[in-house]
Structure 1
Amino acid sequence: MTEPRKLRVLTFSTLYPSSVRPGHGIFVETRLRELIASGQIESRVVAPVPWFPSTDGRWGEYALMAKTPAREHRNGIEVLHPRYGLLPKIGMSLAPLGLYLGAKAAVQQLLDEGFDFDVIDAHYYYPDGVAAAMLARHFNKPLTITARGTDLNLIPEYTLPRKMMQWAARRAQASIGVCSALVDVLRGWQIPAERLHVMRNGVDLQRFRPVPQARVREELGLQGSPLLMSVGYLIERKGHHLAIEALARLLPRYPDARLVIVGEGPERKNLQSLAEQLGVAQHLSMPGAQPNAELYRWYSAADIFILASSREGWANVLLEAMACGTPVVASDIWGTPEVVSEPVAGRLVGQRSGQAFAHELEQLLAAMPDRAEVRRFAEGFSWAATTQAQLDLFGRLSRARTQGGGRDA
């Protein structure tokens, strides 16, 4: 008896890892890997990269883009990295068209090779989702677009990108939000309820796991009590400066406190200067970016994880920290209340200020949850429900197309 053909999904996003940028968009790859592990899906990935003329390391991130291979296998998944034009400064409004033009040949190549996919699954609404809507129209394929955060809680403030996203949302057979707050934005655009889905991110419970705190602190050369940690790209929006301000307010009561900020980015010098101005430089460590596969050690070393962002969709770092047994103190924004939904997980901060974070840190330190209980809470966020929801959705869209439906004008 012939087994039924697996559903064929074309994953489309500029947010996808490569051999030279292994941490870039890893959350998209993780969701896809979990989906493929179901045994019911076959996928190819088109992950376009902006064209850049030089691989000279002096250009930093741009040089890494230039070094990205045109095609590669990652974790058993075929990934194509076509180039697209992105003009500095004026590129924001033109990005979807450039992305579409750059990716179209790669998609056709996959079709010519026999990968006649059933659905395009795009990640990040702008410019990726808009470009994917153009591709879906050109190739006459059903489309899903996943919103992940700043694509819907920041970019719609710009008129032209908002109009393009609204056009893409009307064309897509389904829009997915990683939290309810993002879906509410789409609902406000009058997108029919039957096309809206909440599919939260899960956490890799094998990768992010507790290890003995004392041992890993010694291995990483970390000291401090309490040991606080913040992880993320060093930009203003991530709020690392608020964690430093909170540290300054904690020190009179906790003179051995220490803050570790894991990450790299343009705000490094400003953060170091702030620590010096506040007199806490000796209590701050900034070890730079760390491989995703090693983050569990840093999370496990911390007493409390801090996320002081001004904008987040569904912050994966919160679940990663909790999976390692570390409670969190986080800004009460967007999808974060859906993650920090029980006292055992930590505390939410209503006002984004160093004083407010210091207050909630003190409250948590006075009643710290058992780390094993924090881990058990995180175990409730496996990928199983999201994987099944995707299988149901993609299967429904494929059947509708086969039966002559599933396309919109």
Structure 2
Amino acid sequence: MHIIMITPAKPGSRAGNRATAERWQWLLQRAGHRVTVVTEYAGEPCDAFIALHAWRSVAAIRRFRSSWPDRPLIVALTGTDIYRHQREYPEDTRYSMAEADALIGLHDRLADDIPAEFSDKLVTLYQSAAGPENLPTPQAEVASAGFNVCVIGHLREEKDSLRAACASRLLPPESRIRVFCAGKPHDEQWQAMAEREMRENHRFRWLGELDQAQTRQLMASSQVMVISSVMEGGANVVSEACRAGLPVIASDIPGNLGLLGADYPGYFPVQNERALADLLNRAETDPEFLDCLKNAVSRLAHRFTPEREQASLEQALALAVQRRSQRS
């Protein structure tokens, strides 16, 4: 099939949605399809259309549906679609969800957070990541800093990006924890906050935006990763941590629970830096707890392989084709 996939993230962007689009392009091409990734859509013909974002891609979805009413449409739901846009922009977001022949959700609790009438076309897809054999040697500068905690992702409100930095201020003086934050700031205010935190907090260092190799090097040099988001559709960085065997301490939001499971031992209440500080201190001082976290993520690693992600994409495509043929 010839598939057109639209993403709002332009070529060269390090945004997660661009990485997802390019990874899906590779996986679908490996399955024998021809895939064109675009950021604008003018009604060009294709055999199937995949839209990343229900709300941000609604104009393209309307154009595709009016131009090619008999062709299958797949919509991938993001965290902002589910936890923000379907409340703030319900007409457009629900239109995209209703018109889709298949919906892709990135964690297994997403069915609880979308209208019930759409649940029969939802396919859960766990985003994949490279295995531990692809991790580089730990970066000497970072590895020598102490007990290293990494926070990876663009600095913005949804990620609550400085929560680990705030938590590190509450640690006992003897703690050797250092928080390394990697990500592009959403705006000048986030950049100023990160720079101020570095000046005032000796435990914190903001590394700016890193490329894939540098990000993997940071993970290899860390003992724990913190995912402090207030909303997530299913963060790929969780997949990366699990595949790398890197323990995760995560906010207890649906997007994390839906990847790590209800029984995962490393959750803290969202935006609660006191509880996060306690978990970080425990991870540093209690080897059994750290091993428990490491074993837990390692048991989940099989969820996040490229083979499994490709199978889920093909499942969503087959479902979309089937449902569209039934409508026609």
TM range (shorter): 0.7 to 0.9
Normalised TM-score (structure 2): 0.86
State the secondary structure of the residue aligned to 1:294: helix
Deviations 1:257-302 (A, max 9, x none): 211111121312213324545xx2x322212111023311110101
Confirm whether residue 246 of structure 1 aligns to residue 153 of structure 2: no
CA distance in 2, matches of 1:136, 1:174: 14
Residue 243 of structure 1: CA displacement? 0.7
Deviations 1:38-82 (A, max 9, x none): 2x322122223xxxxxxxxxxxxxxxxxxxxxxxxxxxxxxxxxx
Deviations 1:124-178 (A, max 9, x none): 11121453143122222221111021111111231xx211221222222122211
Q: Using CA pairs below 8 Å that are at least 6 residues apart, which structure has the higher relative contact order?
A: 2
Residue 22 of structure 1: CA displacement? 5.0
Residue 336 of structure 1: CA displacement? 0.5
CA distance in 2, matches of 1:357, 1:239: 13
Q: Residue 391 of structure 1 corresponds to which residue in structure 2?
A: 314
Pick from 214, 229, 232: which aligns with 1:312?
232
Check the 8 A contact 2:50/2:74 in 1, yes or no.
yes
Q: Which amino acid aligns with 2:246?
A: T
Q: Residue 368 of structure 1 corresponds to which residue in structure 2?
A: 290
Deviations 1:80-122 (A, max 9, x none): xxxxxxxxxxxxxxxxxxxxxxx21xx43xx4xxxxx221111
**Bigger Rg, structure 1 or 2:** 1
Confirm whether residue 42 of structure 1 aligns to residue 62 of structure 2: no
Q: Residue 63 of structure 2 corresponds to which residue in structure 1?
A: 134
Q: Residue 151 of structure 1 corresponds to which residue in structure 2?
A: 81
The verdict on how the C-alpha distance between 1:284 and 1:274 changes in structure 2, with shifts beyond 3 A counting, is: closer
CA distance in 1, matches of 2:92, 2:157: 27
Pick from 162, 179, 184: which aligns with 1:259?
179
Q: Which runs of 5+ in 2 are unaligned?
A: none
CA distance in 2, matches of 1:326, 1:314: 17
CA distance in 2, matches of 1:167, 1:23: 25
Q: Which runs of 5+ in 1 are unaligned?
A: 1-6, 49-102, 112-116
Sequence identity, in percent? Answer: 17
Check the 8 A contact 2:155/2:161 in 1, yes or no.
yes
CA distance in 1, matches of 2:39, 2:316: 22
Deviations 1:229-280 (A, max 9, x none): 11111123322221111111124241x3211111121312213324545xx2
Check the 8 A contact 2:74/2:316 in 1, yes or no.
no
Residue 199 of structure 1: CA displacement? 1.9
Q: Residue 73 of structure 1 corresponds to which residue in structure 2?
A: none
CA distance in 2, matches of 1:183, 1:137: 28
The verdict on how the C-alpha distance between 1:157 and 1:194 changes in structure 2, with shifts beyond 3 A counting, is: closer
Confirm whether residue 283 of structure 1 aligns to residue 203 of structure 2: yes
Normalised TM-score (structure 1): 0.70
CA distance in 2, matches of 1:342, 1:245: 26
Confirm whether residue 202 of structure 1 aligns to residue 139 of structure 2: no
State the secondary structure of the residue aligned to 2:35: strand
The verdict on how the C-alpha distance between 1:242 and 1:392 changes in structure 2, with shifts beyond 3 A counting, is: closer
Q: What is the aligned-residue RMSD (CA, Å)?
A: 2.6
Residue 331 of structure 1: CA displacement? 0.5
Check the 8 A contact 2:104/2:316 in 1, yes or no.
no
